Amino acid sequence: MQRDIVQRPGDPAGRADARPVAHTSLPGNLLAPSAARRFVRAALREWTGLGLPAAVGFSERVAEDAEVVVSELVTNAVVHAGTNVEVLARLEEAAEDEVAALVLEVSDHHPARAVRSDRPESGSAADAAEGTSLVGPDEPAEYGRGLQLVGTLAERWGITYRTGLKTVWARLPVDDWNPFPEPAAEPGFQQGLRAAELLAPTARRALRDDADWAGRGALSFLAEASDLLAGQLDEDIVAALSGQLLVPRLADWCAIWLEPENGGPSAVPRLASIWHRDEAETGQLRTLLEQGPIRLPERVGTGPVSMPWPGGEEGAKADEPAASALAYRITSGGRTLGAVLLGREGLARVPDEVTALIEDFVRRVGLAVGAAREYTRQATISRILQRALLPGKVAEIPGVTSSLVYEPSDDGVVGGDFYDIFPCPGDRWCFVLGDVQGSGPEAAVVTGLARPWLRLLAREGFGVGEVLDRLNRLLLDDAMEAAEAAALMVAAAGGQQTPDTGQSRFLSLLYGELVPLPGGGVRCTLASAGHPLPLLLRPDGEVRPAAEPQMLLGIFDDVAYESQSFELAPGDSLLCVTDGVTERRCGPLMFDDEDGLSRALAGCTGLSADGIADRIKRAVHEFAERPPDDDLALLVLQAG
């Protein structure tokens, strides 16, 4: 296990002024939490041995709390993100207004996956930034209450979003701090998360200087905001990040309302996010703002609108001479998406440079919310299409145990992989694993044609090779009709015919049929058309290809497809995959380089069909740190 203790240049090892930072990288599997606990314990022991001033406050309770916190954070990352995990421990010396503290950071490489609180109640991503529940209604309750423990044991904790990276951090004081002084008015989970900061778990925030916003500060702020907001695919996360960016840089508090996407004039905006520089006042501000949503007149553009202070002037600090509240309309593509309300204490009038900067920022919020909604619509349509194009259930084959894994890529569009297992006359069972060129609507069209055509041809009694012959011609005929129709449309519109009006619709396909044998096992006949070859695993660990490579479907019309037959004896297993498995990448390497899939399958000797499927799936996920960027489908057929 790698552990890196960072020191300042020129400092000999063991000097007390060494900068104590320890870092390690762990695989995204169930062994990671225990390894993280050992790593943290070793780091604390090493810092104590160095005689660092901050390490004087270490106690057994601090070590135990740190082990619990890092274990919960790593478990959360492994279960919900599924990527490699980076663990960092940093010791902060005592400062003028801060006690010495141990900061723990756990990063995963799937920032699109929301952090889960493991609570049974539902919640939104915006609630994450406000200290409420982060778990969806489908989240199983048996995962425990990990983040509640983190929020209780830590002085504060939070979430950092960066491009391609999500970091959850927690800060634990190392002096004689008691995390359980008395029963709190609200759960520790909420107390901790309300203190979340956006960019780093720094203990001290910079003082606001409005003069800086007239120059380089404004450009840096807008660039940072654009980078963070543009990568978010959930409008509630956009709202939460927006509040964290505004407060305390440009405002003392802010609230963001979002209009319902399909609502009419009578639709009520929802309060998506509240952020206050003083955590103790967040609850009171929410109570005041929940009395009614903000509504700006239609004639108001995107500029600032003066608003009354929530709750009246008594809502401002008594010792402050004045307070200002401004509202901005959130728009995108000419549509109103919501509103931002923010307040500044101690100012009768917010400087023009600041109001103009906030207006530019709110424009970026509008673009981010609009993009997130477009992604959500696309993802919803994709899920509906995916459910319609794939079978509701697969047939059970007598004498054969099957296990299917299907994971569409998390890009919000319908994928090109499809599968099917269905019975046919003559005591036959057919299975299909296919991959259409491309993705999105074009792939959905081919999938919608290929799967019913396959069922029809198989049930008409055609052999495996004949089914592929006829499917190939059907795809070519359909592509030709589409090209002719496009040419007629172009001609009718008075346009010029382009050389590439029609697009070939081709796919790779593995198709086979199984016939049970009287003495046990099944007779398997299959053919592979441009598809990754199926692999046969014998009980003695031997692995060999079970088909010969042939041409993709939908390219040439003079191809004659041939099939191969063999006996799948009791204990034999047949593994069929799509290229989302074989072409899974880690830098320049692919999973199936140097027969990587065969070697992984050989290690599955003696496992059940479910065990083989799970082992191969985990091997594919663990091959690279980032989540798969292609559909992943695999089918295991095991003779009983």
> Confidence band (pLDDT; 50, 70, 90) for 598?
very high
Find the radius of gyration of the CA atoms of the chain.
30
Q: How far is CA 27 from the centre of its chain?
A: 18
The pLDDT value recorded for residue 18 is 46
The structure tokens listed for 125 are 């991503």
> Confidence band (pLDDT; 50, 70, 90) for 119?
very low
The pLDDT value recorded for residue 386 is 63
Burial grade of 108 (CB within 10 A; 0-12, 13-18, 19 or more): buried
114 within 8 A of 225, measured Cβ to Cβ: no
> pLDDT per residue over 479-499, tens digit each?
666 555 555 555 665 555 444
Q: What is the rounded CA–CA span in Å between residue 398 and residue 336?
A: 58
pLDDT of 503 > 80? The answer is no
**137 or 422, which is more confident:** 422
**15 or 540, which is more confident:** 540
> Confidence band (pLDDT; 50, 70, 90) for 64?
confident
Q: What is the pTM of this model?
A: 0.56
> Confidence band (pLDDT; 50, 70, 90) for 128?
very low
222 within 8 A of 250, measured Cβ to Cβ: no
> pLDDT per residue over 292-328, tens digit each?
888 787 777 778 888 888 876 544 444 555 788 999 9
Q: Give the CA distances from residue 499 to residues 339, 438, 487, 503, 557, in Å, rounded to whole numbers and listed in that order.
A: 49, 21, 10, 10, 20
Q: What is the rounded CA–CA span in Å between residue 402 and residue 423?
A: 14
Cβ atoms within 10 Å, residue 308: 9
Backbone angles phi, psi at 554, to 5 degrees: 90, 15
The structure tokens listed for 44 are 């604390």
- Identify each DSSP E strand in 531-628 by its residue range: 535-537, 543-545, 549-550, 564-568, 573-577, 585-586, 589-590
Q: What is the mean pLDDT of residues 567-590?
A: 94
**Spatial CB neighbours of 173, under 8 Å, sequence gap ≥ 6:** 57, 99, 100, 101, 102, 155
> pLDDT per residue over 526-559, tens digit each?
999 999 999 999 999 999 999 999 999 988 888 9
Determine which of 42-51, 399-408, 554-563 has the lowest per-residue pLDDT on average: 42-51
The pLDDT value recorded for residue 222 is 85
Question: Between the CA atoms of 318, 319, 321 and 326, what dihedral angle is there, to the nearest 10 degrees?
Answer: -60
Identify the top-confidence range among 181-190, 220-229, 293-302, 400-409.
400-409
> Confidence band (pLDDT; 50, 70, 90) for 127?
very low
Sheet holding 270-276, edge to edge: 270-276, 253-258, 335-345, 323-332, 305-307
pLDDT of 138 > 50? The answer is no
pLDDT of 191 > 50? The answer is no
Determine which of 90-99, 140-149, 441-450, 466-475 has the lowest per-residue pLDDT on average: 140-149
Helix (H), strand (E), coil (C) string for 581-599: HHCCEECCEECCCCCHHHH
The pLDDT value recorded for residue 53 is 60
The pLDDT value recorded for residue 159 is 82
